Chains A and B, each alone.
Chain A
């Protein structure tokens, strides 16, 4: 057992059979059936928020839940650890506070994050880094964004700010795909900059990761990478992985919920954090089986999603006379589409109300982003819809959205009308 809890002996003998791409690909009827639990007649074009889970994976999960309940002692002692290991092996094949407090870092040393980092992550930085004495710097970049270079240069500037007055930059948190507004970040380039500039550690937040973008740990080169499995890889809520690159230093990472396995390495700690339902984690091999019923497996799904979401995005932008929020190569399986200025989206809370209005009155599930207009811009686009495409989506859903917005515009609707 090495210090990071790697059970290297087991991983060599327990290599899971790499599931072959299924000889018979999933048919259209089977696909419809797999997602037949989705409420019908809704344009569900927001896979990015909560993901989805097909019926066969739900069944597999329920089988796991029942296995535990039937004879929990036997399950705990004889099955759980091995099965979690299998899930980890599947993932392997596909990708701060204590240091400040214990004086390893100096108070005032910096952590750098993106302006568009996910809200919950920003709060986590506040709760752990700021509270412990770290100084948090945001790398701002424009939106709409036109090219990687805009992001790269702003990031460099932020890292330089982090080094003023002899400070060190201890951590960079970089989204692989920002949530809202949704943009694909050139993580590989940003990590190179981090290495050049002597940033201690890089953590990539790939919440929209596996199944949405290319996730190759060695390619990307981060110290830590996290990806959810319930957004784009069909796992039930909630399972995610955290990759920690092996290094000569011991990363003193611990699960925050401390249980019997404390000190045995993060992977082993995380496999037991008290009695709970581990079925969403155990079902990963079955989720991969489902993925491999599609042509090209996860790669094929990803490519088709990207192609379709770009087509639909361009169709909407054309129909509404607006524009996309980023170049197509900077988007993944989601894309930002400008909404007509006449809607008068004027704040974050208005954007949320419009989203509710679309759900309640037009049966469209979509996220709306509010972007403050620049000075002096005439009749600016202040709202962008983030549309997603996944295996269950159909063109009709985007047409429905197109028509809903067109109707609002024709009716001279403005968001001021929303309560």
Chain B
């Protein structure tokens, strides 16, 4: 991992407190000598409602008890004597968290790491700055922004609210699903960029998911970023809501201008914390937190560390989270590998049991995988998929999101529904057997979704 080599002794424009980051390098927590035992693990997640097959870590993540306790300690520290906390502790605490993240993601400098609530907020920050560029004439009206068709719904709305509203032209990259190889994605992406450059337009921004949400597929971001550079795309923003703990997250490897990942999904933080990485460049990125407070103009990382009185504890607890992660064999890498291995196994088990198929090859999935549901269930629309999800929760105690995929023309008895199963350290094989059996029962009972009100 790199450390801060720069030795500026001034505050640079991006708010880098270079002197502090050299002397305050956090002790890299060693992998714990005694690994977490099964009993301890169960206890850490004993607050999860029991007897539920909670196979949806991808939606809201999870938080172990020891991290919750650490968070409550931070919350109490503030309430005990807030003035002292604000003046003497908060900034340093946030800096420590940023240093932890910098090391985890192989960023060059801690200035490049800002902590925000969630990926949705990070998207608003990047997109708002694009809006200003359009409005202030730096970009021409009609210049393009490219995003994936399977971009997250909230991010699509953010693109509409900021880019379209400011005069940008939005292009969606259609991706096939099920998908069989990365080359399918790469060629569609190239086509979309070409559309973006028609009539002398420039492509000002590409928004690329690292792992799409629904349907969930690992996108070859490194290759797509390279294509963006070849084709002269101004800026690339990688939305890795499912990032740290789910896929390999290496800022220098990936080479994006902006990269965001949630920490409460796959990195055990309490709700909610995420980081936004902004690659240092010779241009000044005029990124601001949309909630403007005293630190306006001091760089995004510093701005984000104070956006008014609120609870910063989820951001302050990050070093403690790293300690938790390091109680597992191989730390976050080990957790990630094991999650991937098991979710593929379970996915294949389910596909076999139901006579269906996976939504993507195993190498294109992370700690989540899409599994086709039997066509006889008759999943016929997005809202029906949601109703089936509710039915599975209420009648079978299975928590899993369902994706509806409109059938291609002329396909006989198509699979129109896919379950997105997740695996995290608290999951057990039984969770997936319960899901398998629930679906088998529905099929045996000749259940169709028409029966759902």
Cβ-defined contact, B292 with A120, below 8 A: yes
Asked whether B162 is an interface residue with its Cβ less than 8 Å from the other chain, the reply is yes
Q: Name the distance in Å between B268's Cβ and chain A's nearest Cβ.
A: 11
Give the docked Cα–Cα distance between A65 and B272 (Å).
Answer: 11
Q: Name the distance in Å between A286's Cβ and chain B's nearest Cβ.
A: 16
Kindly report which residue of chain A lies nearest to residue B123, judged by CB atoms.
A258
Cβ-defined contact, B271 with A42, below 8 A: no
Asked whether A194 is an interface residue with its Cβ less than 8 Å from the other chain, the reply is no
Asked whether A319 is an interface residue with its Cβ less than 8 Å from the other chain, the reply is no
A277-B81 contact in complex given A119-B294, A237-B309, A256-B124, C-beta closer than 8 Å: no
A69-B162 contact in complex given A50-B82, A276-B271, C-beta closer than 8 Å: no
Contacts of B123 in A (CB 8 A): 258
Contacts of A126 in B (CB 8 A): 292, 296
Cβ-defined contact, A277 with B59, below 8 A: no
Give the docked Cα–Cα distance between A128 and B292 (Å).
Answer: 9
Kindly report which residue of chain B lies nearest to residue A231, judged by CB atoms.
B309
Q: Name the distance in Å between A264's Cβ and chain B's nearest Cβ.
A: 10
Contacts of B62 in A (CB 8 A): 69
Within 8 Å by CB of B393, from A46, A73, A228, A356, lies A73
* Stretch from A51-59, A158-166, A197-205, A398-406 at the B interface: A51-59
Report how many residues on chain B are interfacial, defined by Cβ distance under 8 Å: 66
What is the 8 Å Cβ interface bit string for chain B, positions 299-316, against chain A (1 contact, 0 not)? 000000000111100100
Give the docked Cα–Cα distance between A124 and B119 (Å).
Answer: 23
Cβ-defined contact, A76 with B60, below 8 A: yes
What is the 8 Å Cβ interface bit string for chain B, positions 382-414, against chain A (1 contact, 0 not)? 000000001001000001000000000000000
Cβ-defined contact, A260 with B60, below 8 A: no
Asked whether A394 is an interface residue with its Cβ less than 8 Å from the other chain, the reply is no
A277-B49 contact in complex given A38-B81, A42-B81, A68-B271, C-beta closer than 8 Å: no
Cβ-defined contact, B68 with A69, below 8 A: yes
A-B contact count (CB 8 A): 169
Contacts of A53 in B (CB 8 A): 79
Contacts of B87 in A (CB 8 A): 356
Give the docked Cα–Cα distance between A276 and B270 (Å).
Answer: 8
Cβ-defined contact, B124 with A237, below 8 A: no
What is the 8 Å Cβ interface bit string for chain B, positions 39-82, against chain A (1 contact, 0 not)? 00000000111001010100111110000100010011011111
Cβ-defined contact, A46 with B83, below 8 A: yes
Within 8 Å by CB of A69, from B63, B127, B132, B165, lies B63
Q: Within A252-276, which residues are at the interface with B (CB < 8 Å)?
A: 254, 256-260, 262-263, 273-276
Q: Name the distance in Å between A397's Cβ and chain B's nearest Cβ.
A: 13
Within 8 Å by CB of B72, from A62, A70, A128, lies A62
Contacts of B297 in A (CB 8 A): 123
Asked whether A131 is an interface residue with its Cβ less than 8 Å from the other chain, the reply is yes
Give the docked Cα–Cα distance between A123 and B303 (Å).
Answer: 12
Give the docked Cα–Cα distance between A228 and B309 (Å).
Answer: 10
Kindly report which residue of chain A lies nearest to residue B82, judged by CB atoms.
A50
Q: Name the distance in Å between A357's Cβ and chain B's nearest Cβ.
A: 12
Cβ-defined contact, A258 with B49, below 8 A: no
Cβ-defined contact, B294 with A275, below 8 A: no
Cβ-defined contact, A258 with B132, below 8 A: no
What is the 8 Å Cβ interface bit string for chain A, positions 217-239, against chain B (1 contact, 0 not)? 00000000000101100001110
What is the 8 Å Cβ interface bit string for chain B, positions 84-104, against chain A (1 contact, 0 not)? 101100000000000000000
Asked whether A359 is an interface residue with its Cβ less than 8 Å from the other chain, the reply is yes
Most buried by A among B76, B79, B390: B79
Asked whether A115 is an interface residue with its Cβ less than 8 Å from the other chain, the reply is no
Cβ-defined contact, A277 with B162, below 8 A: no
Give A contacts to B, CB under 8 Å: 37-39, 42, 44, 46, 49-53, 58, 62, 65-66, 68-74, 76-77, 98, 101, 119-120, 123-124, 126-128, 131-132, 228, 230-231, 236-238, 254, 256-260, 262-263, 273-277, 280, 356, 359, 365
**Other 18 A-B pairs with CB < 8 A, given A66-B47, A365-B81:** A38-B80, A50-B309, A70-B48, A71-B48, A71-B52, A73-B56, A120-B292, A126-B296, A127-B288, A127-B292, A236-B311, A237-B78, A258-B158, A260-B157, A262-B160, A274-B272, A276-B118, A276-B271
7 A-B pairs whose Cβ atoms sit less than 8 Å apart in the complex: A42-B81, A68-B271, A71-B52, A76-B60, A258-B124, A258-B127, A275-B61
